[in-house]
Structure 1
Amino acid sequence: MLQRILRLVLVPLARIVFRMTIEGRHHVPQTGPVIIAANHLSFIDSFVIPLVAPRPVAFLAKAEYFQHTGIKGWLIRACLVDAIAVPRGAHRAAQASLELALEVLNDGKAFGIHPEGSRSRDGRLYRGRTGVAWLALASHAPVIPVAVLGTDRVQPVGARLPRLGRITVRFGQPLHFPDPPVNAAQARRVVTDEIMSAIQDLSGQEPAHSYNGLSAGV
């Protein structure tokens, strides 16, 4: 309860400090399973989206994040109140992570995922890995494409503390994927590419047309 109260303070504070612009929140269904699929420019993307979404969004998070003490630990746990803590080893097990995400969706909740895997170091939008499509097809949950902009300047790679800057979060229209009439592997690729195209339309990022080599994600 204390963490949720703290979030009520953090949201308006973040909007003021980072001059946040939030668009399309009405596209996110208020109930039922939904997948929030976003680009990935900064470490704080998974913190920002749950703060501004109209309902709780669960992201996978390393268990170490929940072990920090003091004010830092308190703030992290407040932002990650709906996150799923996974051990370091399990975090690298792609299918195990997807199974955890599917459980969240089967419970009628919202799950957030970055299909690119790791953060983009050059600002381009990298090719999506097909785990997001596996989730969409297995759960029949709608997918909300999301573009997060400006977080790479607020929290650049290697920076210990956020900087002042402007952050924009755009929620797109729901994407629905019925059972496809093609083989499973081909379907996952087609669905993933459609999701990434929707994210690119929202973000305006230059597509990289390749995978992010830093990621071992799905």
Structure 2
Amino acid sequence: MIYGAIKFSLGGSLKLAFRPWVEGLENIPVDGPAILASNHLSFSDSFFLPAVLDRKVTFVAKAEYFTSPGVKGRLTAAFFKGVGQLPVDRSGARGAAEAAIKAGIEVVERGGLFGIYPEGTRSPDGRLYRGKPGGLGRVALATGAPVIPIAMIDTEKVQPPGKVVPKLIRPGIRIGKPLDFSRYHGMEEDRYILRSVTDEVMYEIMKLSGQEYVDIYATVAKRQAAEAEKAAKAAAKADKADKAHQHGGSSSSDGDRDRPAA
């Protein structure tokens, strides 16, 4: 009920304001379970995709969205519940991963659509990063559900990271043909199979999106970028201090030369 109301109001508003284009909508099953594996460019991805589909899509979201205090916190929690998000505590990496996998399996086993971002986080620069095998692979192999690759196009231009007010840019969504991994059913503990399944899905997403592929995790890229920025700031600070020291030393020397002899 709540999902339908929010989808009607928010989804309708998004489609009216941004006019997202869609290719491959026929690849989404009319009923029955499926896993929607998408690239992740923007916070708005989780809203644009459900807006163009007739069926409910369930994603997982960090638990903080559901537990923040005050009126704003309660409204935020109600909103995320209403749009089909499931809370996952990310305070412990291993526990969060297990909770997300369990939630995904439950959604699929109920015959629903489970949405997942194999990269694990938003792309820091618009490129496509290596998929994490645990979540996607384990849900797919434990349930035998088809995996549908999806490419979000230009959503990072609609709402760049850190920006609250979106730009009226028309995004797109390409939906690929379902991938069948039922031949690996029950092999969700085999890390080589998980890696192979994830890489196959990421390859299909790359073809759909046209993104440059980077064979490292997005979390690693973000950490490297943060470390590089920190090092650059430290170097700039040291350079500034060195120049200030040199200027001060130069002034002292000039003063000594100008002082008359006793």
TM-score range for the pair, normalised by the shorter chain length: 0.7 to 0.9
Give the structure 1 partner of residue 84 of structure 2: 82
Root-mean-square deviation (Å): 2.8
Residue correspondence of structure 1 range 43-192 to structure 2 within 5 A: 43-66=43-66, 69=71, 73=75, 77=79, 80-89=82-91, 93-131=96-134, 132-180=136-184, 184-192=190-198
Shift of 1:118: 0.9
Which of the two has higher C-alpha Rg?
A: 2
Shift of 1:80: 4.8
> CA 1:3–1:145 in 2, change beyond 3 Å: closer, same or farther?
closer
The one-character-per-residue Cα deviations of 1:142-173 (angstroms, maximum 9, x if unpaired) are 00100001110111011122221111011111
The percentage of aligned residue pairs carrying the same residue is: 42
> CA 1:121–1:12 in 2, change beyond 3 Å: closer, same or farther?
same
Mapped partners of 1:108, 1:55: distance in 2? 11
8 Å CA contact retained: 1:38, 1:147: yes
> CA 1:215–1:116 in 2, change beyond 3 Å: closer, same or farther?
farther
The one-character-per-residue Cα deviations of 1:73-98 (angstroms, maximum 9, x if unpaired) are 37971785211123343676212211
Name the structure, 1 or 2, with higher relative contact order (CA <8 Å, separation 6+).
Answer: 1
TM-score by length of 1: 0.87
The one-character-per-residue Cα deviations of 1:163-214 (angstroms, maximum 9, x if unpaired) are 2111101111100012339882111111111100111111000111221116
Farther-moved stretch of structure 1 (9-18 vs 181-190): 181-190
User: Which one has the bigger helix percentage?
Assistant: 2
8 Å CA contact retained: 1:145, 1:198: yes
Gaps of 5+ in 2: 224-262
Mapped partners of 1:177, 1:150: distance in 2? 29
Farther-moved stretch of structure 1 (84-93 vs 11-20): 84-93
Q: What's the secondary structure of 1:200's corresponding residue?
A: helix
Give the structure 2 partner of residue 28 of structure 1: 28
TM-score by length of 2: 0.74
Farther-moved stretch of structure 1 (83-92 vs 142-151): 83-92
- Count of residue pairs brought into register by the alignment: 216
8 Å CA contact retained: 1:51, 1:79: no
8 Å CA contact retained: 2:36, 2:115: yes
Give the structure 2 partner of residue 15 of structure 1: 15
